[in-house]
């Protein structure tokens, strides 16, 4: 893609479903055009559409109202919101009825077959593998196109926005606006770049703190960087957390935007900076079962040979206090520095 942003990467020396939804779902019959090639396939009936929809819903998604068994990729709202088209499926009905479905944002990919795996013949197993491979190839092509379209929108919005020195959200969090921009309606833009500094997407934040990613934009391995690389690099989840860590410690920080993206970002940084110490700053989700923030941080550190830094809160810790921005707000910069010093000096 030939764009100003791509031609000149960011050069700043930084790190550069409701289970009951089947009750409301109706499956419309195929149109004459859609069913023309399926007239010789009596096995394609309401049962196949119903079973495929049940499989989609069993995976925690909202099934589409209409199921098309034409072997091509179809997008649908997996949440029930009309504007959300992150769900996708491919259903084949030639020979062995089988399909694949998934969700763009979560990375979910599931396979469905009209016959139990143990009852498939060798020929049917080969046919199923072909259907699955064909569906995944379509999914990959669509994902690339979606990411390219989102990247073009991100570049246009980023170039039209202006650097800002304040925003309601950053004031509430007690952080700086380093590397951020704002649109005329005061929507705060957080750039999502790869390790080479190329802008791929944006996170938007409104005055009330609502956060969104651009639809279809790349998230995997992208981050917002703050600071110049030194002997250690920090990877954390949120932008506010990253701003707080950098302000308190002076360390370079990469905000990965989510727990699930900690490991992908850490791997990118490890490959780019093989000899630097990587610190994974955990969100201590102590009130959530399984503590997903701490669990993801430990997994990311293990994947890259890094160290985990956990915020140590005072005894009167509120239940919603989980990250280093919360620690900064409650106990000040010294408390944040002490957590990192403990790991850096060990």
Predicted pLDDT of residue 35 = 37
Domain 163-344 has CATH 3.40.1360.10: yes
| Tens-place pLDDT, residues 316-339 | 899 999 999 999 999 999 999 999
Q: Does residue 32 have a pLDDT over 80? A: no
Predicted pLDDT of residue 106 = 80
Predicted pLDDT of residue 45 = 58
| 33-41: long-range contacts, CB 8 A cutoff, minimum separation 24 | 34/68, 34/70, 37/70, 38/69, 38/93, 41/93, 41/94
Q: Does residue 250 have a pLDDT over 90? A: yes
Average confidence (pLDDT) over 218-224 = 95
Range scoring the smallest mean pLDDT among 62-66, 276-280, 294-298: 62-66
Q: Cβ–Cβ contacts within 10 Å for residue 154, how many?
A: 24
| Tens-place pLDDT, residues 106-131 | 888 999 999 998 899 999 999 999 88
For the chain, percent of residues with pLDDT exceeding 90: 66
- Helices 239-249/324-331 angle, 10° precision: 50
Alpha carbon 4 to chain centroid distance? 25
Predicted pLDDT of residue 15 = 63
* Alpha-carbon span 324 to 238, nearest angstrom: 10
Question: pLDDT class for 24, splitting at 50, 70, 90?
Answer: very low
* Token pair 């408390």 in the structure block, residue: 335
| Tens-place pLDDT, residues 43-97 | 445 788 889 999 999 999 999 988 998 889 999 999 888 878 889 999 988 788 9
Average confidence (pLDDT) over 182-199 = 96
The reported pTM is 0.73
| 168-171: long-range contacts, CB 8 A cutoff, minimum separation 24 | 168/207, 168/208, 169/205, 169/206, 169/207, 169/209, 169/240, 170/240, 170/243
CB 287 within 8 A of CB 319: yes
Q: Distances in Å between the alpha carbon of 158 and those of 79, 127, 187, 217, 253?
A: 29, 46, 11, 14, 21
- Helices 324-331/333-344 angle, 10° precision: 130
Average confidence (pLDDT) over 24-47 = 42
Average confidence (pLDDT) over 204-214 = 95
Average confidence (pLDDT) over 192-209 = 96
Question: DSSP readout, 31-86?
Answer: PHHHHGGGTT-TT-SHHHHHHHHHHHHHTT-PPPSS---SSS-EEE-SSS-TT---
Residue 309, strand partner residues: 281
Average confidence (pLDDT) over 146-165 = 95
Q: Does residue 226 have a pLDDT over 50? A: yes
Residue 181, strand partner residues: 163, 189
Predicted pLDDT of residue 228 = 93
* Alpha-carbon span 238 to 281, nearest angstrom: 10
* Alpha-carbon span 288 to 296, nearest angstrom: 13
Counting runs of H as helices and runs of E as strands, what totals does the chain give? 10, 14
**Ranges of each domain in the chain:** 4-149, 163-344
């Amino acid at each position: 893609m030939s764009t100003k942003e791509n031609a000149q990467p960011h050069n700043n020396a930084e790190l550069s479903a409701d289970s009951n939804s089947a009750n409301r779902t109706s499956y419309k019959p195929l149109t004459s055009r859609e069913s023309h090639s399926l007239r010789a396939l009596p096995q394609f009936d309401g049962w196949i559409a119903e079973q495929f929809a049940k499989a989609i819903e069993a995976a925690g998604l909202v099934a589409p109202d209409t199921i098309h068994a034409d072997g091509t990729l179809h997008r649908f709202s997996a949440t029930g919101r009309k504007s959300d088209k992150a769900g996708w499926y491919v259903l084949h009905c030639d020979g062995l009825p089988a399909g694949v479905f998934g969700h763009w944002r979560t990375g979910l990919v599931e396979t469905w077959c009209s016959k139990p795996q143990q009852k498939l013949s060798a020929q049917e197993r080969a046919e199923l593998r072909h259907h699955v491979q064909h569906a995944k190839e379509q999914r990959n092509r669509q994902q690339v196109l979606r990411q390219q379209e989102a990247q073009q929108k991100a570049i246009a919005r980023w170039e039209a926005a202006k650097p800002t020195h304040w925003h309601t959200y950053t004031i509430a969090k007690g952080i700086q606006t380093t590397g951020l921009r704002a649109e005329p309606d005061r929507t705060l833009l957080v750039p999502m770049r790869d390790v080479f500094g190329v802008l791929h997407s944006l996170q938007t934040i409104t005055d009330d703190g609502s956060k969104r990613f651009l639809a279809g934009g790349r998230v995997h391995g992208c981050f917002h960087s703050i600071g110049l690389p030194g002997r250690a690099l920090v990877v954390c989840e949120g932008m506010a957390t990253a701003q707080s860590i950098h302000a308190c410690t002076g360390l370079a920080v990469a905000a990965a935007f989510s727990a699930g993206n900690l490991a992908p970002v850490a791997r990118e940084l490890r490959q780019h900076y093989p000899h630097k110490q990587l610190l994974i700053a955990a969100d201590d989700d102590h009130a959530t079962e399984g503590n997903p923030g701490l669990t993801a941080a430990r997994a990311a550190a293990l994947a890259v040979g890094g160290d985990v830094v956990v915020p140590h809160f005072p005894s009167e810790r509120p239940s919603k206090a989980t990250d280093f921005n919360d620690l900064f707000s409650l106990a000040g910069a010294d408390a944040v520095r002490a957590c990192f010093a403990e790991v850096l000096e060990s």
